[in-house]
Amino acid sequence: MLALLRGFGMKDCRCCDAASSKNYEKLFEKLDTNKDGKVDVAELRAGLIAMGIALRTGEAQKIVSTGDKNSDGALDFTEFARYLKEHEKKLWLTFRSLDKNNDGRLDACEIKQSLAELGMDISTEAALKILQSIDINGTMTVDWNEWREHFMFKSTTNLEEIIRYWKHSSQLDIGDNLVIPDEFTNEEKVSGGWWKQLVAGATAGAVSRTGTAPLDRVKVFMQVHASRSNQINLVAGFKRMLNEGGVTSLWRGNGLNVLKIAPETAIKFMAYEQYKKYLSSEGDKIETAQRFIAGSLAGATAQTSIYPMEVVKTRLTLRSTGQYSGMVDCAKSILKREGIKAFYKGYVPNMLGIIPYAGIDLAIYESLKNAWLTHHAEHTANPGVLVLLGCGTVSSTCGQLASYPLALVRTRMQAQASFENSEQPSMRSLIRNILEKEGFFGLYRGILPNFMKVIPAVSISYVVYEYTKSSLGISK
């Protein structure tokens, strides 16, 4: 197999058109086990695995789908050869872009520099680990033949797609404000695949939020009503809600919580793309710090746009049975009794909470994934689903821990105006009042159910996200 791959095109002139048709024929014959003149998905998968080439889930299907021009579900020799030539050309362009000193070999410094240009700062040791996973002859450099052999039957063709292994999976919606939006390749933007990703993410978020809504409601209930004199724990909070409104009351406010996903996601994505353009000095290249700034600004923009829905959601979550007939009635009641300003109660602490959440979330995620790469990426630069989910869960939890006091203050300010004859304290006075009457830990009322929902929310979100992607025809 290696001999066949080494025989493919790009000799001294490195020209894709010089690819050896003879070697393509030999490989095609080897894969075409039933000798019908076509290679289908099953034959391609079985043949490549037999040759010792590891495939990710859906890889063989994507190769066949990309090369299948007549849509018959298989590749004839012409389609097979055309696919390999086009794929090899893309790989060559990527190799050339990485080879900064044009010596025909990639070293650790070039890998590190290229990743930094895409916003991923790694150590030299980590770059060596990536290099080692591709290096065949043990020279700790990678030439064109080694690069081609490693990626010839992988659907990734450019560095941006390879780095997608390491993207922060913001589509894993746990019901809190994830700040760094998803990013898409130019191919996805042109083909329209980006909107399918957003739809899949929104669907996953809706199911995830609905599944964990009881925990979210008891969190809000404890944030607003619990105190030293009114000790409400997790069990007591559930009992009070069940006694007041029955089982269905556990999902109060969830309808609006789900409804606001679509506009928030769309605004955040569009704003993020615009902020990246403003902040980037070299086209599409953006560094980690710029990505953090763009993400924070996009999150702030989206939150500002949909914040009135947040206020209404909090009021619906805390309402007693029969208080409002629905979200429209609730919004009308707020407008009539408190005026337009009521829809932005708690806005300041909400905006301030974005910075620590985003900064800590992104920093810890980057640190965890780089630590994995440094210590465990001896044979592959792909961390796998469990590692990515673990990194995302831990980083998101730490981000919530840092920003939770501001989230609690925001919720109390949103809810305070709904109480009869209640004072309307400022953010500063509310924090001071909580510290004086409840102590430091009073700023963390309700954090237990918030932590409890993270793992089920991430798990539900991931499963639904993958299922929805498959239903929409997006390869894993």
Q: Mind giving me the DSSP string for 113-176? A: HHHHHTT----HHHHHHHHHHH-SSSSSSEEHHHHHHHHTTSS--SHHHHHGGG---TTS--SS
Q: Provide the 8-state DSSP code for 281.
A: S
Other Cβ atoms less than 10 A from the Cβ of 398: the count is 18
CATH of 186-471, one of 3.40.800.10, 1.50.40.10, 3.40.30.10, 1.10.599.10: 1.50.40.10
pLDDT at residue 192, rounded to an integer: 63
Q: How far is CA 462 from the centre of its chain?
A: 10
pLDDT at residue 188, rounded to an integer: 58
Of the chain, the end-to-end C-alpha distance in Å amounts to 26
In angstroms, rounded to a whole number, what is the distance separating the alpha carbons of residues 97 and 95?
Answer: 5
Asked if 140 and 153 count as a contact pair (C-beta separation under 8 A), the reply is: no
Residues 6+ apart with CB under 8 A from 189: none
Among 357, 287, 284, which residue's Cα sits nearest to residue 122?
287
Q: Mark out the alpha helices in 260-376 (DSSP H runs).
A: 261-279, 288-318, 327-338, 347-376
At position 104, the amino acid (one-letter code) is: G
pLDDT at residue 467, rounded to an integer: 82
Judged on CB neighbours under 10 Å (0-12, 13-18, 19+), 339 is: exposed
At position 311, the amino acid (one-letter code) is: V
Residues 6+ apart with CB under 8 A from 213: 250, 251, 253, 254, 257
Other Cβ atoms less than 10 A from the Cβ of 134: the count is 17
Q: Provide the 8-state DSSP code for 320.
A: P
In angstroms, rounded to a whole number, what is the distance separating the alpha carbons of residues 467 and 459?
Answer: 12
Domain(s) of CATH 1.10.238.10: residues in the chain? 2-105+147-166
**Alpha-carbon dihedral sign for residues 23, 24, 28, 29:** negative
Domain(s) of CATH 1.50.40.10: residues in the chain? 186-471
Continuous segment of H or E residues that includes residue 73:
none
pLDDT of the chain, 476 residues: tens digit per residue: 444 444 444 444 444 444 457 778 888 888 888 888 898 888 888 888 887 776 666 677 878 888 888 888 889 988 888 888 888 887 887 788 788 888 888 888 888 877 776 556 667 777 787 777 777 777 888 888 888 887 777 765 555 555 554 444 444 555 555 545 555 655 556 556 677 777 888 888 889 899 999 999 999 888 888 777 777 888 888 898 899 889 998 999 888 888 988 888 888 888 888 887 888 765 555 666 777 777 778 888 888 999 999 999 999 988 888 888 888 999 999 899 888 988 999 999 988 887 777 667 767 776 777 677 666 655 555 566 677 777 777 877 888 888 889 989 999 898 876 555 556 778 888 899 889 888 888 899 888 888 888 878 878 887 888 788 778 876 54
What are the distances in angstroms from CA 159 to CA 170, 185, 237, 475? 20, 10, 50, 18
Judged on CB neighbours under 10 Å (0-12, 13-18, 19+), 177 is: buried
Asked if 75 and 171 count as a contact pair (C-beta separation under 8 A), the reply is: no
Angle at 237 between CA 231 and CA 240, to 5 degrees: 110
23: alpha, beta or left? (left if phi > 0; alpha if psi -120 to 50): alpha
Among 186, 155, 199, 192, which residue's Cα sits nearest to residue 467?
199
SS3 call for 108: helix
In angstroms, rounded to a whole number, what is the distance separating the alpha carbons of residues 267 and 417?
Answer: 28
In angstroms, rounded to a whole number, what is the distance separating the alpha carbons of residues 216 and 254?
Answer: 9
In angstroms, rounded to a whole number, what is the distance separating the alpha carbons of residues 190 and 70?
Answer: 22
* Topology classification of domain 2-105+147-166: Recoverin; domain 1 (1.10.238)
pLDDT at residue 168, rounded to an integer: 43
pLDDT at residue 329, rounded to an integer: 92
Asked if 220 and 227 count as a contact pair (C-beta separation under 8 A), the reply is: no
